[in-house]
Structure 1
Amino acid sequence: MDLLEKCRAYTWADEVRDVGLYPYYPAFQGPAEGGQAVLDGSEVLMLGGSNYRALSSNPQVIGAVQDAVALYGTSAGGSRMLNGNLDLHEELEADLADFFGFEAALVFAAGYLTNLGVVSVLAGVGDRVYLDEKAHPSLVDGARLAKAAGAGVHWFGHGDPGDLARQLAAAPTRSVLVATDGVFSMEGVLAPVAELVAVCEEYGATLLVDDADGVGVFGRGRGVIEQAGMQGRVPLMTLSFSKALASQGGAVLADAQTISFLRHNSRPQIFSAGLSPADTAAAHASLREIHRRAGAEPDALSAAEYLRRALDALGFDVAGSASPVVPVRFPDQTAMLSAQRVLVDHGVYTNALLPSAHEGYQLRIACTDAHTPDTLEAAIGVFASLREDLLPRYRPTA
């Protein structure tokens, strides 16, 4: 069998298309504003994005992008190490470090590259990596590269500091990296950061919290580390700009010496072009706006709680989340895909998770600051009207 035979044998996507239930790679027309989007020429309620603070259409953010493109053009033009480093990058790094309470920060061209570039270079021969069993794939892939370099890779129970402690107690080395999401973005559950900090401090392990979905939402915008009262006690924090910061790219925050090491040794940093001027300016302007709003709880949290309570009252299985993410669970793939299709046909867009996702079969709803009570009531009305069609398929009533 030649290398590409596996590709020719792959039929799942075509089979789902043939029955009219393929939900992936939809082509939206224009931006998602006010909780609305346009899909196939029709307006839909957008309940699938991660633009939690609704900043992608904020006038200040758009203005900053326009100014950056006018001044710097469309591209950084090369690797940051050589010729693609802009003062925009360094200004953003300084403000990230200041806002999140770290000595220094390093901006990468993508959030995925950030985790890949941090985990893979920090762990090698003689080191161990311990991952939450539901850690983001970017952390997992970073650990795979670390394993190829000689590190031992292990898993601890999801959100289970006790299991981590038992494994660290038996570990033959204290040269250990522990990595977890801050908010597990598919299910909306927060990591037990304070307990993980205590375990890592007891056993001398280094904790990395990937707070892609917590930044801008929790802890006065500073994420789950501050929410847990652990600022200053987590050595490594990563984040993505593609969520609340309404952009692309990502960053790692740590002490200055660690950042210097990563700057000169992380291959995804060295061998990627610098983040574009537009994306850098968007992330920076969004950070300033989140800083400005730090005293107020995001509307996304109250919107999600309102929607979660309403769907639960209708009998939908939405338990577990404490974030802007509201999972709606189903027993099998057909029920999930059918529900997503019916909802879109009635003007409500939600995300159907791939069968390979480790959250089972669920629709992922995400609320933002733009979801007003009227928007939510319209969505709840659609779920209510479809209740008899959807509910019996996945959770029998008592």
Structure 2
Amino acid sequence: MDLLEKCRAYLRADEVRDAGLYPYYPAFQGPAEGGQAVLDGAELCMLGGNNYRSLSENPQVIGAVQDAIALYGTSTTGSRLLSGNLDLHEELEADLADFLGYEAALVFATGYMTNLGVLTELTPLSSQVSWGSASFTACLVIDGAQLAAASGAVVRWFGHNNPDDLARQLAAAPTQSVLVATDGVSTVEGELAPVAELVAVCEEYGATLLVDDAHGVGVFGRGRGVIEQAGMQGRVPLMTLSLSKSLASQGGAVLADATTIDFLRHTSRPQIYSAGLSPADTAAAHAALREIRRRAGAEPAALAAAHLRRALDALGYDVGGSFSPVITVRFPDQIAMLSAHSILVDHGVYTNAVLPPAYEGYQLRIVCTDAHSPYVLEGVIGVFATLREDLLSRHRQTA
């Protein structure tokens, strides 16, 4: 069969386009500032990004980026192992480790490559890998685990945020050489992982716990994430994070003891065979980290989401239970969800329309940030009140 035949046979996106409901790859004009964005010339309330602390528009962050470009240029143009390592990288790593309570950190060019690089190097040393979420964040872990499985590791699932199921599986495991990986904040429902319970199980059975806190750093635990929130500092051996959310940049990082980090520096293929994080992105993340340290204790994004979640629930929407800035609104089918997305955009509100297989079911994903004031959210709530009345008629028109 022609190798590209599967591309020509792929019709899913065209079916949505033909219905006039295609919501993906929107081309925004300019940056999202103050919780607002411009799409097709119209200003929208941006409830679809991960800029939790609104630092991508912060003057100190922008100034640090401009200074870095003036001093270092636009690119490292090489692997960090050989010629693309900057003092900027090492300064960021040192401050990340200090702030998050680890001996050392290693910055990667993307968050995806971080989990890929950690799991593919550490899990061949294990006979089993377990992780407990099917969320988009955990999908970054999934690919690494699948590659590890190809190298001989045995991959197992445990129930999402279910320490009892993890304990059951670890009790039956033929070895104690086990890496347990989970996301700190689920991007499906916005739920926080039961870190304390997972730590207790892993310590009982001698397993090594990795928490991917892409959506928790900057938001919870005085900015230090869900590990700090749970009071488990010093008891989670491995932590990964994204620099593209609260830290307003690109890239990712892994934190661990100094020996493990040095091992990964010299063995992780995604690290070795990628150019170093650009000077601009490195400086942006470092400036954002300094701002998060300065603001430690404030969690306005989570508080804004709690208010919006209660209001949507009162209006009768099927919302996911959560304590984070992420809210999920569930719909019965694809047309209902895509129609809701379209109506919201028409009324000046942008959310994320997420289809399986990324998540189970049909959902709009809403993300609150520090920029979403009570006044802005009341306007959003008003739009959802209108949508409740309009959705069924729009559904019939597009069905």
TM-score range, shorter chain: over 0.9
> Matches of 1:79 and 1:267 in 2, distance apart?
11
Per-residue CA deviation, residues 13-32 of structure 1 (Å, 9 max, x unaligned), is 01100111000000000111
> Matches of 1:387 and 1:307 in 2, distance apart?
15
2:100 is matched by which residue type in structure 1? F
Pairwise mapping of residues 288-327 of structure 1 onto structure 2 (< 5 A)? 288-295=290-297, 297-327=298-328
What SS does the aligned partner of 2:105 have? strand
Give the CA deviation at 1:392: 9.0
Per-residue CA deviation, residues 15-57 of structure 1 (Å, 9 max, x unaligned), is 1001110000000001111111100000011111110000000
Partner of 1:7: 7
User: Measured at CA, do residues 125 and 94 of structure 1 come closer, stay the same or move farther in structure 2, by a change above 3 Å?
Assistant: closer
**Of residues 171, 174, 184 in structure 2, which corresponds to 1:169?**
171
- Aligned Cα root-mean-square deviation (Å): 1.3
Give the CA deviation at 1:242: 0.7
Partner of 2:18: 18
Give the CA deviation at 1:125: 5.9
User: Measured at CA, do residues 82 and 300 of structure 1 come closer, stay the same or move farther in structure 2, by a change above 3 Å?
Assistant: same
Partner of 1:43: 43
Give the CA deviation at 1:310: 0.9
Per-residue CA deviation, residues 125-165 of structure 1 (Å, 9 max, x unaligned), is 65210011425111000001111111000000011010010
Partner of 1:372: 373
> Matches of 2:357 and 2:38 in 1, distance apart?
28
1:67 is matched by which residue type in structure 2? D
Partner of 2:143: 141
1:98 is matched by which residue type in structure 2? D
User: Measured at CA, do residues 190 and 126 of structure 1 come closer, stay the same or move farther in structure 2, by a change above 3 Å?
Assistant: closer
What SS does the aligned partner of 2:222 have? coil
> Matches of 2:161 and 2:343 in 1, distance apart?
34
1:117 is matched by which residue type in structure 2? G
> Matches of 2:159 and 2:26 in 1, distance apart?
34
1:227 maps to 2:235: no
Kept after mapping to 2: 8 A contact 1:315/1:391: no
Per-residue CA deviation, residues 344-381 of structure 1 (Å, 9 max, x unaligned), is 01111000002212331100000000001111111111
Give the CA deviation at 1:186: 2.3
- Residue-pair matches, total: 393
Partner of 1:93: 93
1:354 maps to 2:352: no
Deviates more, 1:20-29 or 1:2-11: 2-11
What SS does the aligned partner of 1:178 have? strand
Per-residue CA deviation, residues 217-244 of structure 1 (Å, 9 max, x unaligned), is 0000000000000000000000000110
Give the CA deviation at 1:388: 1.1
Kept after mapping to 2: 8 A contact 1:187/1:359: no
Identical-pair percentage: 78
Pairwise mapping of residues 169-188 of structure 1 onto structure 2 (< 5 A)? 169-188=171-190
Deviates more, 1:348-357 or 1:198-207: 348-357
2:311 is matched by which residue type in structure 1? A
> Matches of 1:119 and 1:151 in 2, distance apart?
10
What SS does the aligned partner of 1:184 have? coil
1:269 is matched by which residue type in structure 2? Q
TM-score under structure 1 length normalisation: 0.97
Kept after mapping to 1: 8 A contact 2:126/2:178: no
> Matches of 1:174 and 1:68 in 2, distance apart?
46
1:386 is matched by which residue type in structure 2? L
Unaligned runs of 5+ in 2: none
> Matches of 2:394 and 2:123 in 1, distance apart?
46
Partner of 1:194: 196
2:342 is matched by which residue type in structure 1? R
Deviates more, 1:90-99 or 1:377-386: 377-386
Unaligned runs of 5+ in 1: none
Give the CA deviation at 1:391: 6.9
Pairwise mapping of residues 230-241 of structure 1 onto structure 2 (< 5 A)? 230-241=232-243
Structure 1 segments of 4 or more deviating over 6 A?
A: 391-394
> Matches of 2:322 and 2:18 in 1, distance apart?
34
Deviates more, 1:50-59 or 1:135-144: 135-144
What SS does the aligned partner of 2:124 have? coil
2:16 is matched by which residue type in structure 1? V
Kept after mapping to 2: 8 A contact 1:125/1:150: no
2:153 is matched by which residue type in structure 1? A
Deviates more, 1:1-10 or 1:77-86: 1-10
What SS does the aligned partner of 2:223 have? coil
> Matches of 2:20 and 2:56 in 1, distance apart?
31
Kept after mapping to 2: 8 A contact 1:333/1:355: no
